[in-house]
């Protein structure tokens, strides 16, 4: 199986797992950490591209698991984090990681946040090295071994 096919299958499996847990993923900590993760993945290369943030915002709106939350509220939170990262990437990254770290209290939610990052990162067909690196860092912030997700 080609590497891309393997990744695509893995991302589909993660989305399926997320959907199966959908009814358990309704907390504010999960919502906030997920939007912080989405912004971090969108800005993984150190810059915030408007086309990429628009695409991620569209993915957020269409993600079945995130439909537990108000779409406009999710977008507001996502763009707030994206703006923090655009303003000062290093400082914004610290702030975003703090928000992501709040999901650590509930291991299932923490894993779901990582899965959201992987699904969003791979949605364009290329889960690149920079996206993998920020998701790996988020694993550390959540106390999860990156190897659990083949990162």
What value does the mean pLDDT of the chain take? 88
pLDDT greater at residue 44 or residue 126: 44
pLDDT greater at residue 24 or residue 30: 30
Residue 70 tokens, joined: 């108000």
pLDDT at 44: 92
Tell me the C-alpha distance between 98 and 104, whole Å. 10
pLDDT at 49: 83
pLDDT greater at residue 36 or residue 65: 36
Q: Any idea which of 16-20, 42-46, 53-57 has the lowest mean pLDDT?
A: 16-20
Which pLDDT tens digit goes with each residue over 69-124? 999 999 999 999 999 999 999 999 999 999 999 999 999 999 999 999 998 888 77
CA neighbours within 13 Å on the CB side: how many for 26?
5
Q: Is the pTM of this model over 0.85?
A: yes
User: Which domains are present in the chain?
Assistant: 3-16+27-144 (1.10.3680)
């Amino acid at each position: 199986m080609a590497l891309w096919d393997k990744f695509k299958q893995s991302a589909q499996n993660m989305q399926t797992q997320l959907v199966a847990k959908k009814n358990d993923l309704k907390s504010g900590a999960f919502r906030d950490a997920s939007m912080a993760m989405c912004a971090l993945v969108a800005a993984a290369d150190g810059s915030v591209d408007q086309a990429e943030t628009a695409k991620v915002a569209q993915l957020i709106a269409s993600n079945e698991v995130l439909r537990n939350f108000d779409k406009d509220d999710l977008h507001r939170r996502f763009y707030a984090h994206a703006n923090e990262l655009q303003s000062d990437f290093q400082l914004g990254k610290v702030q975003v990681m703090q928000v992501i770290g709040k999901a650590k209290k509930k291991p299932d939610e923490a894993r779901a946040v990582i899965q959201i990052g992987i699904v969003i990162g791979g949605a364009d067909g290329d889960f690149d090295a920079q996206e993998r690196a920020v998701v790996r860092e988020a694993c550390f912030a959540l106390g999860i071994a990156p190897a659990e997700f083949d990162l």
